[in-house]
């Protein structure tokens, strides 16, 4: 996303998802029902967080809150953060028993070492390469020592500009596909240890990657 400044890509992402929020929420509502490998990853994440003593879990880039709710069903104290106010409004409507906030993964309004886990479920896909490291640094900052990070992402080497989607509405976001080994390098530089990775094909992604990483003490 060369030549696009920080404020520009964030504003484009927020405005695009405000525009498509209702259509997007309907499209993804039941995706996990047909995604057993992703459900297994989320269940494993929940099991590991609970085994370590539990605590708050931040679903960052939560969209309409479906993954936040799924984690809650697995016993986690999950809450959601999303850049799009329209997405947060839908999440609050559909899951009134859970907490959702408007916020950016580039500047998380969470206290240091305040969460036991962080999930970024296909929410890094619009973040430019040069911003991923700082985002991971924020994830590390808010995680407790030894806290667990779960990433879902599209696998590949290319980036493309998405100008239409989710009901035919206009969008202006770059979609970045990345190799697990590339993300692993950035994670290690930010103070994480990658503990597991897998590649899947499902309704979530034609070629998706899932990474588990722990914050160094």
The domains of the chain are located at 6-215
Cβ contact 74:44 at 8 Å: no
Over range 11-35, report the average pLDDT.
95
6-215: CATH homologous superfamily?
Vaccinia Virus protein VP39 (3.40.50.150)
Q: Which residues of 54-69 are buried (b: 16+ CB within 10 A; e: fewer)?
A: ebbbbbbbbbbbbbbb
Strand boundaries in the chain, DSSP class E = 56-60, 77-82, 100-102, 115-121, 143-154, 159-165, 169-176, 192-202, 205-215
DSSP letter, residue 98: S
What number of other Cβ atoms are within 10 A of residue 53's Cβ? 9
User: Over the chain, what is the mean pLDDT?
Assistant: 95
**Of the ranges 28-42, 93-107, 156-170, 183-197, which one carries the lowest mean pLDDT score?**
156-170
Beta-bridge partner residues of 199? 209
Q: Give the pLDDT confidence of 105-158 residue by residue, as tens digits.
A: 999 999 999 999 999 999 999 999 999 999 999 999 999 999 999 999 999 999
Q: Give the pLDDT confidence of 48-70 residue by residue, as tens digits.
A: 999 999 999 999 999 999 999 99
The Cα 62–Cα 87 span in angstroms is: 8
Question: Residue 30's pLDDT is what?
Answer: 94
Q: Exposure of 36 by Cβ count < 10 A (0-12 exposed, 13-18 middle, 19+ buried)?
A: exposed
Question: Residue 205's pLDDT is what?
Answer: 95
Q: Between vectors from CA 124 to CA 118 and to CA 127, what angle results, nearest 5°?
A: 130
Over range 189-197, report the average pLDDT.
98
SS3 164: strand
Question: Residue 217's pLDDT is what?
Answer: 84
Reported confidence tier of residue 167, pLDDT bands at 50, 70, 90: confident
The Cα 122–Cα 102 span in angstroms is: 17
């Amino acid at each position: 996303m060369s030549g696009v400044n920080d404020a520009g890509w964030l504003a484009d992402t927020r405005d695009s998802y405000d525009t498509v929020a209702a259509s997007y929420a309907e499209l993804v509502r039941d995706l996990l029902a047909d995604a057993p490998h992703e459900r297994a990853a989320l269940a494993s994440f929940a099991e590991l967080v609970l085994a370590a003593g539990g605590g708050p879990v931040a679903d960052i880039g939560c969209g309409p809150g479906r993954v936040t709710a799924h984690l809650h069903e697995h016993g986690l104290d999950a809450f959601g953060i999303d850049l799009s106010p329209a997405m947060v409004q839908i999440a609050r409507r559909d899951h009134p028993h859970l907490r959702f906030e408007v916020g950016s993964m580039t500047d998380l309004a969470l206290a240091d070492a305040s969460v036991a886990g962080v999930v970024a479920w296909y929410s890094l896909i619009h973040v430019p390469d040069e911003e991923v490291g700082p985002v991971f640094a924020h994830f590390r900052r808010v995680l407790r020592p030894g806290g667990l990070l779960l990433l879902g992402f599209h696998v590949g080497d290319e980036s493309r500009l998405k100008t239409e989607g989710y009901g035919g509405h206009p969008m202006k976001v770059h979609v970045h596909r990345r190799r697990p080994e590339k993300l692993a390098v950035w994670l290690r530089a930010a103070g994480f240890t990658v503990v597991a990775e897998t590649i899947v094909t499902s309704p979530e992604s034609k070629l998706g990657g899932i990474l588990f990483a722990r914050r160094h003490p």
